[in-house]
Amino acid sequence: MGKVLIIGAGGVGQVTAHKCAQVPEVFSDIMLASRTLSKCEQIAAQLKRPIKTARVDADNVSELVTLIRDFKPDCIIHVALPYQNLNIMEACLETGTNYIDTANYETPDNPNFCYDLQWKYHDSFKDRGIMALLGSGFDPGVTNVFTAYAKKHYFDEMHELDIIDCNAGDHGQPFATNFNPEINIREITSNGRFYENGEWKETEPLSLSRTYDFPEGIGEKKIYMMFHEELESLVKHFPSIKRARFWMTFSDNYLKHLGVLQAVGMTSIKPVEYQGQEIVPLQFLKAVLPDPASLGPLTKGKTCIGCIVKGIKSGKEVEYYVYNSCDHEEAFKETGSQAVSYTTGVPAMIGAMMLITKKWEGKGVFNMEEFDPDPFMDKLNQYGLPWKEIFLKG
């Protein structure tokens, strides 16, 4: 039915390639491309059907344009670095190709975590007659769809939203991140932000915490408030929300190591001179930490990510919890990647499916919650991320 070009051959790219390959009736032709061709070929060798592979530098718009014009995909799934979002969007504009990513644009020297620069492409994409679907991962992505589903089916007005992300997996390493270390550590060490009564309020990094009792046998875990980009789009598109927060779990061991690395300057993104050349400490740290893709066979346990929504339906107060729990070992058995990559790669595939099958249609730049959530929610159940819902009140 459609051709898809996947850019990025890390853990998420591996999952996305596996899941697209499982649906030949939608993805009739697949290409996987990255800066390192051998990674693409390694992933291609795992699949039960042939796919094409290519080398491309996603920092180079002309290289991207040449590859896109040669392969002629119906859409691009960008699962490489968020630094490259705008380059790939530019290439999509030049070639008239639909675009999907899983995280908002960032610059290497400023973890700005906002959609402004991508939203500014709306008119250009609209005029070109193509669509950009932003944040088709889990958070952002599925959490946006969860919120839209809650509003469509259970609320007249949503007043409070808490997005809670728990990784209860254990990989046995002294210190490692479950996705790109540079992006992960930039997020965690940045100031937190939450939305309340029409204003954004800033907090010191990980300064607010509480305990939450997770389902699926996970139990009580400490969660820390931080900022995540889906909050920005959700309060824009659901203006009845009066408070919106994002919470994530971190182990004491992880925070202990991170605190030491911060104290000695290893998480800094400001270049320093070393033996006559400039290096960025965080990028050097990324080079010496375990590759997240290597954690797949080591990680046991589950993730649990969901949304708690409070609001009003027919004049009555309602509190609603919708979530997914994903098992690391089951994810690895299917795709060779742990659950953090799996929970991002599956929604990336489903987002592309929505676009190619025209379940979601539009010209311009969109966030996930702007479309009908029901077909996406159905596909989550079908392709490995089943969800559950609980009414905590009402």
Going from N- to C-terminal start, the domains of the chain cover 2-134, 142-336+387-393
* Through-space distance between the first and last CA atoms of the chain, rounded to whole angstroms: 43
The pLDDT value recorded for residue 18 is: 98
Between 36-40, 79-83, 254-258, the lowest mean confidence (pLDDT) is in: 254-258
Between 53-62, 173-182, 371-380, the lowest mean confidence (pLDDT) is in: 173-182
Between 95-104, 207-216, 264-273, the lowest mean confidence (pLDDT) is in: 264-273
Give the model's confidence band at 176: pLDDT under 50 very low, under 70 low, under 90 confident, else very high.
confident
Torsion 131-132-137-139 (CA) sign: negative
Cα–Cα distance, 231 to 76 (Å, whole number): 25
Cα–Cα distance, 134 to 141 (Å, whole number): 8
62 versus 272: the higher-pLDDT residue is: 62
pLDDT in tens, 355-366: 999 999 999 999
Contact 106, 112 (CB under 8 A): yes
Half-sphere exposure of 248 (CA within 13 A, CB side): 17
Which positions ≥6 away from 63 have C-beta within 8 Å? 56, 57
- Class level of CATH domain 142-336+387-393: alpha beta
Q: How many CB atoms lie under 10 A from the CB of residue 250? A: 17
* Parallel/antiparallel/unpaired status of strands 131-134 and 98-101: parallel
pLDDT at residue 175 greater than cutoff 90: no
The pLDDT value recorded for residue 111 is: 67
The pLDDT value recorded for residue 137 is: 98
Mean predicted lDDT score pLDDT of the chain: 94
Angle among Cα 22, 26, 29 to the nearest 5 degrees reads 80
Q: How far is CA 216 from the centre of its chain?
A: 22
pLDDT in tens, 344-356: 999 999 999 999 9
Cα–Cα distance, 317 to 312 (Å, whole number): 5
pLDDT > 90: percent of the chain: 79
Which positions ≥6 away from 33 have C-beta within 8 Å? 5, 6, 7, 9, 40, 53, 54, 55, 56, 67
Q: Domain 2-134 falls in which CATH fold? A: Rossmann fold (3.40.50)
Burial class (CB in 10 A: 0-12, 13-18, 19+), 140: buried
The pLDDT value recorded for residue 307 is: 98
* Parallel/antiparallel/unpaired status of strands 387-393 and 272-274: unpaired
